[in-house]
Amino acid sequence: MTDPRTIVLTGASRGLGLALARELIARGHTVLGCARDHAAVAELAASHPAPHDFAAVDVADDEAVAAWAGRIVAQAGPPDLVINNAGLMNDPAPLWEVPAAEFDRLMAVNVGGTVNVIRALVPAMIAAGGGVVANLSSGWGRSTAPEVAPYCASKWAVEGLTRALAQELPRGMAAVAVNPGIIDTDMLRQAFGDGAASFSSPEDWAPRAADLFLGLGPADNGTAMTV
């Protein structure tokens, strides 16, 4: 087992985030998570009390993220690992048919939310002299498909901003883009329909993913990885 880590995880209430949170906690790590679903967050907080912490936060809201980050850093110190997992998928459609509000919301969460969390937490990590930022990308952040152009655009953006961030971080830190692979989640079902059932579950995925995330270090800075 690796030494106990303090891990910040966004999008922790369902799908990959929920499975990963449970796996990391089972391995003895402290998880400080957030999600938008108040009821799901309350359930997580009840089932995983202190030192873990789960809060209802919309990562697209910079002020809310800053307040949350300030509280958890004061409570637990700078995180060893930040996993930017929160994300949305667009309803499949040709790009010109995607409503502006849907496109804007997706970009605000997938790209803006990732940046908001980085802005709120990385300065404390730099001051502490270390830490890893892992940003969830996608196979569609390195390739494309029809009718998911907004999602592709957001994940290609995550790949680019992660590589640039890697060039900005001081030695001893790392920023890594991680493609989780194709997993049977609500998000995948939004794109694939019932065909998503042919892929592995988040619970089967989580142990492999935890191994990858916990193994990241300064030598991985600027790399693009896949679970």
Within a domain: residue 16?
yes
Cis ω for the linkage preceding 51 (within 30 of 0): yes
Q: What is the CATH number of the domain that holds 220?
A: 3.40.50.720
Within a domain: residue 1?
no
Within a domain: residue 188?
yes
Within a domain: residue 127?
yes
- What's the rounded mean pLDDT across residues 131-160? 98
Within a domain: residue 41?
yes
Q: What per-residue confidence (pLDDT) applies to 194?
A: 78
Domain with 88, as residue range(s), is 6-226
- What's the rounded mean pLDDT across residues 45-66? 98
- What's the rounded mean pLDDT across residues 64-89? 98
The residues that are catalytic are 151
* Helix runs in 86-179, H state only: 100-107, 114-128, 149-168
Q: What per-residue confidence (pLDDT) applies to 184?
A: 78
Name the residue with tokens 């990308």: 137
CA-closest candidate to residue 147, choices 199, 88, 98? 98
* pLDDT tier, 120 (very low <50, low <70, confident <90, very high otherwise): very high
pTM for the model: 0.95
